[in-house]
Amino acid sequence: MLDIRFLRENSEAVKQNIKNKFQDEKLPLVDEVTALDVEHRAAKTKADSLRSNRNKISKQIGYFMAQGKREEAEKAKEQVTADAQRLAELESIEAELGAKITNIMMTIPNIIDESVPIGRDDSENKEVQRYGEPVVPDFEIPYHTEIMESFDGIDLDSAGRVAGNGFYYLMGDIARLHSAVISYARDFMIDRGFTYCVPPFMIRSDVVTGVMSFAEMDAMMYKIEGEDLYLIGTSEHSMIGKFIDTIIPESSLPQTLTSYSPCFRKEKGAHGIEERGVYRIHQFEKQEMIVVCKPEDSKAWFDKLWQNTVDLFRSLCIPVRTLECCSGDLADLKVKSVDVEAWSPRQKKFFEVGSCSNLGDAQARRLKIRVKGKDLNYLPHTLNNTVVAPPRMLIAFLENNLKKDGNVVIPDVLRPYMGGKSELSKSR
């Protein structure tokens, strides 16, 4: 969410940013909120004047009573009563206008970084760099659920009967591989200096609206009926929410946390054939990383975060590439974002396995997260990135480590988490 003072002084820049994000339907909101802001400040000025006058008259009443001037005191009291009624009206107007301003400001997109390419949607994202050599083997790569089934590692039919579409049972070595990847990712991030955390898996509505846009909330979040609680779609939400309405000592920055959690998503909309199986599901597990830092440090942290994901995937023998997300593909709170995509030998293309985002001070402003600086308090920047999110990541892992005989090689770094196994052997 933008600072209203920034919008007040830079309305044309805000409008151009909206155009750059191809959200022209939001352009009238800038003039609307500007007009409301004028009304709001006028009401506040009048209310502040009445409060000041009330204090002055209250002192006069005491003086008149001490001097025995009862008539003057009663007139002053009448003035206080009249002012109190008018003040209550102004405070009501002030609150109503403030709420309208906040609602509009919550829908106006954040100012994107000047380095972000201008584009309408994800088809215009720009490849930045590739890491590792994509290989297409001389044998056919089965669909990922077929690979899992060859190890008796997945049961979608039973999951469908129990929970419906978008759920799964992972079994045996595939389930163990899933857990091994999560454990390895945890230790990988701890070794890089991040503090490990297991957060709440449900959050209140004030945290939800603090960390994401209304559009994202509607498309993603599951609401707990009868309670002010939502199931998290990613642990980033509860991890950033950890700092809600707090003042962080500057000396404790940066806050660097890595978290494990299950994730729950509605995944609204139709999906293509490559999103069968465990590619797009309602429930999955993820290792996440978040950073809360000084504004001047956020660009450097952004590069460190996506590099962590690249390094982890490369350690598992999976070629990846980074994509710079264009303006139209950025969620409204994001300043800049990079997707990490893994190579699929079967599809002969890359597909998304993680996303790194810099949100500037937008989440901090919404959640009232402040830093106690040397001279004054200020808003920190927040960033997040996916370390790894199986079972989608397992698609890339199985395809890139599959042998011609149907067995799957276990990279050296993962073997301690797999009981020393060097490969998975087919069950049939």
Q: Picking from 32-46, 62-76, 387-401, which range would have the lowest pLDDT averaged per residue? A: 62-76
Q: Which of the residue ranges 77-91, 105-119, 272-286 has the most confident prediction, judged by mean pLDDT?
A: 105-119
Instruction: From 232, 228, 244, select the one nearest 366 (Cα to Cα).
Output: 244
- Measure the CA–CA gap between 171 and 4, rounded to whole angstroms: 52
- Measure the CA–CA gap between 48 and 191, rounded to whole angstroms: 54
**How many CB atoms sit inside 10 A of residue 238's CB?**
24
Whether 49 has a pLDDT exceeding 70, the answer reads yes
Scored b (16 or more CB within 10 A) or e, 55-82 reads eebeebbeebeeeeeeeebeebeeebee
The average pLDDT across 110-116 equals: 96
Instruction: From 187, 188, 163, 176, select the one nearest 394 (Cα to Cα).
Output: 176
Structural domains of the chain sorted by starting position, each given as residue range(s) with its CATH number in brackets = 4-105 (1.10.287.40), 122-424 (3.30.930.10)
The average pLDDT across 395-415 equals: 96
Phi/psi for 313 (5° steps) reads -65, -35
pLDDT of residue 270: 43
Q: Residue 71 — very low, low, confident or very high, per pLDDT cuts 50/70/90?
A: confident
Whether 325 has a pLDDT exceeding 90, the answer reads yes
**Amino acid in the structure at residue 387:** V
The average pLDDT across 80-103 equals: 87
pLDDT of residue 178: 96
pLDDT of residue 243: 98
Q: What is the pLDDT of residues 97-111, one digit of tens each?
A: 999 999 999 999 999
Contact (CB, 8 A) for 134 and 343: yes
Whether 65 has a pLDDT exceeding 80, the answer reads no
Q: What is the pLDDT of residues 5-48, one digit of tens each?
A: 999 999 999 999 999 999 999 999 999 999 999 999 999 998 88
The overall pTM is greater than 0.95: no
- Measure the CA–CA gap between 156 and 426, rounded to whole angstroms: 19
pLDDT of residue 427: 60
Whether 380 has a pLDDT exceeding 90, the answer reads yes
The average pLDDT across 371-387 equals: 96
**How many CB atoms sit inside 10 A of residue 49's CB?**
13
Instruction: From 279, 316, 309, select the one nearest 409 (Cα to Cα).
Output: 316
Q: Give Cα 362 distance to the centre of its chain.
A: 11
The average pLDDT across 342-352 equals: 95
pLDDT of residue 251: 96
Contacts of 38 (CB under 8 A, 6+ apart): none
Whether 244 has a pLDDT exceeding 50, the answer reads yes
| Residue whose token pair is 């004047």 | 49
Q: Residue 134 — very low, low, confident or very high, per pLDDT cuts 50/70/90?
A: very high
The average pLDDT across 375-401 equals: 95
Q: Is 17 exposed, middle or buried (0-12, 13-18, 19+ CB in 10 A)?
A: buried
Whether 273 has a pLDDT exceeding 50, the answer reads no
Q: Residue 86 — very low, low, confident or very high, per pLDDT cuts 50/70/90?
A: confident
Q: Residue 272 — very low, low, confident or very high, per pLDDT cuts 50/70/90?
A: very low
Whether 269 has a pLDDT exceeding 80, the answer reads no
Contact (CB, 8 A) for 122 and 325: yes
Alpha-carbon dihedral sign for residues 116, 122, 124, 130: positive
| DSSP3 helix / strand / coil % (the chain, rounded to 5) | 50, 20, 30
**How many CB atoms sit inside 10 A of residue 273's CB?**
7
pLDDT of residue 428: 56
The average pLDDT across 209-215 equals: 84
Whether 211 has a pLDDT exceeding 50, the answer reads yes
pLDDT of residue 131: 97
